Structure 1
Amino acid sequence: MSPTDSVSHEPVLQVRGLTKAFGTNTVLRGIDLDVPRGKVVALIGPSGSGKTTILRSLNGLEMPDGGSVTVGARGASADKVHGADGALTIDFAQTLGSKKARSQQLAALRDRSAMVFQHYNLFPHKTVLQNVIEGPVQVQKRPRAEAVAEAEKLLARVGLLEKKDAHPFELSGGQQQRVGIVRALALKPQLLLFDEPTSSLDPELVDDVLGVIKELADEGWTMVIVTHELAFARQTADEVVFMDGGVVVERGPASQVLRNPKEKRTQAFVRRLLHET
């Protein structure tokens, strides 16, 4: 399944001046980010640089202090493909109104993006199938039969249809993460977000998960991926953004940033990570 038959360069994500502090610790210092439709952007950088906070802000799980986020393609063709219609812009520098209005806006943001978490975040008491259809049925109010049929197709795609009645504790870490990816795809988002999708996996399970993500990239899904897998980022990402201290230090084509970075801080980080692997 491909999100679109013809990929344009229309932005699906526009971030302007995003800021966020936790008490006295400022983790985002005016982040700008553009992701064209059908492109993959990899966020790399040391722990604490703000990468995960960006993802959580894009999925309505974190409330930024300032800046704006626009998620969604504006074209009619995109509206036919994805569950949410058109683009949504939230200006966090302005008041979002009442608690109810804020909740509605963040819910609309989540309707346009889907998150694949580092630690799977599956419901332990629900089966694989129940985990996958939870969002489409309970949140998007889609007919259960339709959601089940779509979920079974997606599970078959990643080789897990026979596990649809299993519970998460019966699966390996790699299988759980593939279920997490299927759960995200079942929401038919305009933007896929991956937060270190392989960092919790045993080394022998990493390739299966990265293979699924690479297939999605080849199909034209719009994605933002936080990763420490530099070889994977070089093969999959159209652009790599290196962050440190809550700011973007360097950005550019994956081949340039990861093979011949311009900034000394990027050079040191890439050299260290490549040495560790």
Structure 2
Amino acid sequence: MTDTTAQPAEPARVRVHGLEKSFGDQHVLRGIDFEARRGTSTVLLGPSGSGKTTVLRSLNVLETPEAGVIGIDDVEIDFARLPAGKAGRKESARLRAQSGMVFQAHNLFPHRTVLENVVEGPVVAQRRPREEAVADARTLLDQVGLGDRADAYPFQLSGGQQQRVGIARALALKPRAVLFDEPTSALDPELVGEVLAVIKDLAAEGWTMVIVTHEIRFAQQVADQVLFLDGGVIVEQGTSAQVIGDPQQDRTRRFLSRIRDHG
């Protein structure tokens, strides 16, 4: 990779208080509270169905909680008081604009080049000048080690390369926080390392990140704080040394033991 980097404009402080979310009769989030300090990495761990991805999607308002407060710096929503209709959609859009999301699947436009995929959001959604967006996109592609693949199409890339394009695309929107939903779960094992290396670089550069992952060793390396969720609540939270290295709750210990056995 090159030394050319795109730095976060101003990393955000993320605040979550009393988050509640249900899907039908299933109560998925039950009063989630945490704070991610500026320029830190927060990792969410937990079994399938624990609520961790719903927390992440709520931060980007891809899911709308029934209650609770989410704040990303000075943009804040109290979901119990979110107005209906256009006013509510406008508030949600303001909060969504503070973060960039990297999904499990790459979700690239197959008929557009790598460069066009990265430029799309800034030009179409943010109405930024195309020349500026292209220059930023080339910087970001250099940063994720794909500066020489700008004119390639997604089908010409490996899964790991496509996910790195997805990271560049999220950063191109100049978010205040970056959200990762199991960014390596869809990758072949030999491609996982190249994606995790990019995320580690972002952590070192001071981006505020919230990451859902099952990669325990990676979590130990990158996390400033770890939240272990189960049954829609935070069972345990602290530094990676505390939660992963010396968990206090039996539920956390059993989960980590099972993950390590499978790993």
TM-score by length of 2: 0.95
Shift of residue 176, structure 1, vs aligned partner:
0.5
Secondary structure of residue in 2 paired with 1:115: strand
Pick one of 155, 180, 194 that aligns with 1:194: 180
Distance in 1 (CA, whole Å) between partners of 2:133 and 2:7 is 17
Shift of residue 36, structure 1, vs aligned partner:
0.3
Equivalent AA in structure 2 for residue 30 of structure 1:
G
Residue 29 of structure 2: aligned partner: 28
Residue 78 of structure 2: aligned partner: 91
Shift of residue 106, structure 1, vs aligned partner:
1.6
Shift of residue 125, structure 1, vs aligned partner:
2.2
Residue 75 of structure 1: aligned partner: none
Greater mean deviation of Cα atoms: 152-161 or 261-270: 152-161
Distance in 1 (CA, whole Å) between partners of 2:84 and 2:256 is 44
Shift of residue 138, structure 1, vs aligned partner:
1.0
Pick one of 3, 6, 21 that aligns with 2:8: 3
Pick one of 105, 126, 148 that aligns with 1:162: 148
**Deviation per CA, 1:183-210, whole angstroms, max 9, x where unpaired?**
0111111110000000111111111000
TM-score by length of 1: 0.90
Distance in 1 (CA, whole Å) between partners of 2:91 and 2:155 is 34
Distance in 1 (CA, whole Å) between partners of 2:80 and 2:243 is 32
Retained in 1: the 8 A contact 2:49–2:231?
yes
Secondary structure of residue in 2 paired with 1:181: helix
Shift of residue 97, structure 1, vs aligned partner:
2.3
Distance in 1 (CA, whole Å) between partners of 2:258 and 2:195 is 24
Q: What are the within-5 Å matches in structure 2 for residues 138-217 of structure 1? A: 138-217=124-203
Aligned length: 258
- Which 5+ residue runs of structure 1 have no aligned equivalent? 73-86
Greater than 6 Å deviation, 4+ residue runs: none
Shift of residue 159, structure 1, vs aligned partner:
1.9
Q: What are the within-5 Å matches in structure 2 for residues 71-90 of structure 1? A: 71-72=72-73, 87-90=74-77
Distance in 1 (CA, whole Å) between partners of 2:220 and 2:157 is 30
Retained in 1: the 8 A contact 2:184–2:192?
yes
